[in-house]
Structure 1
Amino acid sequence: MAVATAVPRSGEAVRPMTAGEKKVILASSLGTVFEWYDFYLYGSLAAIIGAQFFSAYPEATRNIFALLAFAAGFLVRPFGALVFGRLGDMVGRKYTFLVTILIMGISTFAVGLLPSYTTLNAYGIGWVAPVTLLVLRMLQGLALGGEYGGAAVYVAEHAPAGRRGFYTAFIQTTATLGLLLSLIIILSTQGYVNSAYPGTTVTNPDGTTTTLTAFQVWGWRIPFLVSVALLAISVWIRLQMQESPAFKKMKEEGTHSKAPLSEAFGQWKNAKWALLALLGLTAGQAVVWYTGQFYALFFLQSILKVDQFTANVMIAWSLILGTAGFLIFGSLSDRIGRKPIILGGCLIAALTYFPLFNMLTANANPALHAAQASVPVVVKTNPDDCSFQFNPVGTAKFTKECDVAKALLARSAVAYRTDPQPKGTPTVVSINGKDFAVADPAFAKAVPAALTEAGYPPASGNPTVIKAANPIDIFTGQKLAVIGILTILVVYVTMVYGPIAAALVELFPTRIRYTSMSLPYHIGNGWFGGLLPATSFAMVAQTGDIYYGLWYPIVIALFTFVVGLIFIPETKDRDILA
Structure 2
Amino acid sequence: MADLHQHPHGPEPSASDIRMVIAASSAGTIFEWYDFFIYGTLASFVGKAFFPSVGPTLQILLVWAGFAVGFGFRPLGAILFGYFGDKLGRKYTFLVTVTLMGISTAGVGLTPSAETIGLWAPFIVILLRILQGLALGGEYGGAAIYVSEHSPPGRRGYFTGFIQSSVVGGFVLSIIVVLLNQAAFSEDTLADWGWRVPFLLSLALLAISLWMRLKLSESPVFLAMREEGEISGNPFAESFTYPGNKKRIFVALFGVTGILTTIWYTAFFSSLSFLKGPMRVDATVVEVVIGLTALVSMSFYVMVGAWSDKVGRKRPLVIGAALALALLFPLFWGLGSLANPGLQASARANPVVVSGRACSTDPFADLTGSKPSDCGKLLETLTASGVPYSVRTADALSLTVGGHAVAIAPEWLAGDAAHKQEAAKARKAGIEAALAARGFDFSVQRPALPALLGIAGILLVLGGLSALTYGGVAAQLTEMFPAPIRYSSMSIPYHIGAGYLGGFLPLIASYINARTGDAYAGLWYTWGVVAFGLIVAIWGLRGGPPRDYGDDAS
Please give the range of the TM-score, normalised by the shorter of the 2 chains: 0.7 to 0.9
Residue 485 of structure 1 corresponds to 458
Q: Residue 385 of structure 1: CA displacement?
A: 5.1
Is the counterpart of residue 279 in structure 1 residue 241 in structure 2? no
Q: Residue 172 of structure 1: CA displacement?
A: 1.1
Is the counterpart of residue 554 in structure 1 residue 524 in structure 2? no
Letter in 2 for 1:400: S
| CA RMSD between the two structures | 3.1
SS at match of 1:386: coil
C-alpha distance after superposition, 1:92-134 (max 9, x if no partner): 1111111111111222234344555677x6xxxx776655444
1:315-394 aligned at under 5 Å gives the runs: 315-381=290-356, 386=360, 389=362
Separation in 2, partners of 1:393, 1:529: 26
Letter in 2 for 1:217: D
Task: Identify which range, 340-349 or 314-323, moves more after superposition.
Answer: 314-323
Is the counterpart of residue 533 in structure 1 residue 503 in structure 2? no
- Equivalent of 1:224, from 171, 194, 199? 199
TM-score normalised per structure 2: 0.87
Separation in 2, partners of 1:241, 1:26: 10
SS at match of 2:392: strand
| Counterpart contact for 2:480–2:548, Cα < 8 Å | no
| Counterpart contact for 2:49–2:113, Cα < 8 Å | yes
| Counterpart contact for 2:172–2:291, Cα < 8 Å | yes
Separation in 2, partners of 1:566, 1:412: 43
- Equivalent of 2:443, from 449, 460, 475? 460
| Counterpart contact for 2:311–2:544, Cα < 8 Å | no
- Equivalent of 2:142, from 150, 154, 158? 150
Letter in 2 for 1:342: L
Is the counterpart of residue 79 in structure 1 residue 62 in structure 2? no
Separation in 2, partners of 1:298, 1:74: 18
Q: CA, structure 1 residues 433+62, in 2 after alignment: closer, same or farther (shift >3 Å)?
A: closer
Separation in 2, partners of 1:305, 1:128: 32
Is the counterpart of residue 99 in structure 1 residue 96 in structure 2? yes
Residue 423 of structure 2 corresponds to none
Letter in 1 for 2:100: I
Is the counterpart of residue 312 in structure 1 residue 287 in structure 2? yes
- Equivalent of 1:566, from 536, 539, 549? 539
Q: Residue 561 of structure 1: CA displacement?
A: 1.0
TM-score normalised per structure 1: 0.83
Is the counterpart of residue 141 in structure 1 residue 141 in structure 2? no
Q: CA, structure 1 residues 5+259, in 2 after alignment: closer, same or farther (shift >3 Å)?
A: closer
Q: Residue 83 of structure 1: CA displacement?
A: 0.5
SS at match of 1:378: strand
Q: Residue 260 of structure 1: CA displacement?
A: 1.0
- Equivalent of 1:417, from 384, 390, 403? 390
Greater RCO structure (CA 8 Å; 6+ sep): 2
| Counterpart contact for 2:175–2:287, Cα < 8 Å | yes
SS at match of 1:345: helix
Residue 179 of structure 1 corresponds to 171
Is the counterpart of residue 508 in structure 1 residue 481 in structure 2? yes
Task: Identify which range, 508-517 or 567-576, moves more after superposition.
Answer: 567-576
Residue 421 of structure 2 corresponds to none
Q: Size of the alignment, in residue pairs? A: 528
Separation in 2, partners of 1:402, 1:34: 46
Separation in 1, partners of 2:275, 2:205: 30
| Counterpart contact for 1:284–1:561, Cα < 8 Å | yes
Is the counterpart of residue 20 in structure 1 residue 29 in structure 2? no
1:261-300 aligned at under 5 Å gives the runs: 261-266=236-241, 269-300=244-275
Separation in 1, partners of 2:226, 2:349: 69
Separation in 1, partners of 2:28, 2:535: 32
Unpaired runs of at least 5, structure 2 = 1-5, 414-426
Residue 470 of structure 1 corresponds to none
Q: Residue 218 of structure 1: CA displacement?
A: 2.8
Separation in 2, partners of 1:129, 1:377: 39
Residue 432 of structure 2 corresponds to 448
SS at match of 1:323: helix
Unpaired runs of at least 5, structure 1 = 7-14, 195-211, 468-473
Q: CA, structure 1 residues 396+185, in 2 after alignment: closer, same or farther (shift >3 Å)?
A: farther
Separation in 1, partners of 2:51, 2:310: 52
Task: Identify which range, 368-377 or 38-47, moves more after superposition.
Answer: 38-47
Separation in 2, partners of 1:428, 1:137: 43
Q: Residue 149 of structure 1: CA displacement?
A: 0.6
Q: Residue 329 of structure 1: CA displacement?
A: 0.6
Q: CA, structure 1 residues 33+390, in 2 after alignment: closer, same or farther (shift >3 Å)?
A: farther
| Counterpart contact for 1:162–1:572, Cα < 8 Å | no
SS at match of 2:154: coil
Q: Residue 391 of structure 1: CA displacement?
A: 5.9
Q: CA, structure 1 residues 571+336, in 2 after alignment: closer, same or farther (shift >3 Å)?
A: closer
| Counterpart contact for 1:392–1:535, Cα < 8 Å | no
Q: CA, structure 1 residues 369+316, in 2 after alignment: closer, same or farther (shift >3 Å)?
A: same
C-alpha distance after superposition, 1:65-113 (max 9, x if no partner): 6555443322211110110011111111111111111111222234344
C-alpha distance after superposition, 1:469-498 (max 9, x if no partner): xxxxx8x21211111111111111111121
Q: Residue 284 of structure 1: CA displacement?
A: 1.2
Q: CA, structure 1 residues 77+571, in 2 after alignment: closer, same or farther (shift >3 Å)?
A: farther
Letter in 2 for 1:92: G
Q: Residue 314 of structure 1: CA displacement?
A: 1.5
Q: Residue 328 of structure 1: CA displacement?
A: 0.8
Separation in 1, partners of 2:351, 2:291: 36
- Equivalent of 1:429, from 369, 388, 399? 399
Task: Identify which range, 539-548 or 487-496, moves more after superposition.
Answer: 539-548
Letter in 2 for 1:481: G
Q: By percentage of residues, which structure has more helix?
A: 2
- Equivalent of 1:498, from 467, 471, 478? 471
C-alpha distance after superposition, 1:177-200 (max 9, x if no partner): 111111111111221122xxxxxx
Q: Residue 416 of structure 1: CA displacement?
A: 2.6
Separation in 1, partners of 2:102, 2:365: 26
Q: CA, structure 1 residues 518+394, in 2 after alignment: closer, same or farther (shift >3 Å)?
A: farther
Q: CA, structure 1 residues 262+316, in 2 after alignment: closer, same or farther (shift >3 Å)?
A: same
C-alpha distance after superposition, 1:5-24 (max 9, x if no partner): 89xxxxxxxx9981110111
SS at match of 2:353: strand
Separation in 1, partners of 2:210, 2:373: 53
Separation in 2, partners of 1:221, 1:347: 41
Letter in 2 for 1:82: I
